[in-house]
Amino acid sequence: MQNTQATIEWWAANGSIIFESLGILAFALSGLIEAARKKLDLVGMTMVTSLAAFGGGTLRDILLDRRPFYWVQNFAWIYIIIGLCAVSLVFVRNRHLDLTERAMQWPDAIGLGIFTASGTQIALMANMPPVVAVIMGTITAIFGGVARDIVVNEIPKAFINQEPYAVIAFTGGWIVVIGNALGWASFASLWVCALVTIAMRLATMIFRWRVPAWRV
């Protein structure tokens, strides 16, 4: 019983840090792969990776008037991103890896789930109405990918790809709202939302589910 209580207390204290770190790393990896596919130099790779990792959270913080930004308060992430890009640049060139768009979508799916959950929870903690909180979670989850695609001169995949993406984030965000309403521990709401959202995104990729497209 004491071990269970200690585990719950540990997750309550450290779970959000681990959670946010996993989301940043996942989206950073998606940006890293996209930058490598475009054969960018170290500066370009660092910019694309940083936008993918921090873009959604930064826009959320601007809209919620939260300061300082996460990457400013935790500036060690800047060095981590630069280091990852430098190592990856050398590794990819030496190994001559053939990185595909599909490879970028796997870490992107993980980031989508984690940032949907964290963005929604942060907005709820700022006393936003549930629907606004879910929209903030959706913005947190998709804007990093949108910024990544714009910088590499592509129309954002979240807007033109018929695979459900923003819809999944919007749907998953309600799990956090419901969990909070039912009195779940915050880390439980975050992880359930993230896992369900990731599972939905992976299912759309594997089974190639599509939303209705415009007919010409």
The model's pTM is 0.85
Q: How many residues can be counted in the chain?
A: 216
Q: Which two tokens stand for residue 52?
A: 């993918």
CA separation for the pair 132, 114 (Å, rounded)? 18
Give residue-wise pLDDT tens across range 55-68. 998 999 999 888 88
Predicted local distance difference test score (pLDDT) of residue 193:
93
pLDDT of residue 121: 92
First and final CA of the chain: distance in angstroms?
Answer: 63
Kindly give, in sequence order, each residue whose CB lies less than 8 Å from that of residue 136, ignoring residues fewer than 6 positions away: 60, 63, 64, 119, 120, 122, 123, 128
Tell me the average pLDDT across 165-172.
91
CA distance 69 to 71: 6
> Tokens 């969990």 label which residue?
179
Distance CA 77, CA 215 (A): 44
Read out DSSP for 34-70? Answer: HHHHTT--HHHHHHHHHHHHHHHHHHHHHHHT-SS-H
Q: How do residues 121-160 score in pLDDT, each as one tens digit?
A: 999 999 999 999 999 999 999 998 889 888 888 878 777 6
Q: Give dist(CA 172, CA 120) in Å, integer.
A: 10
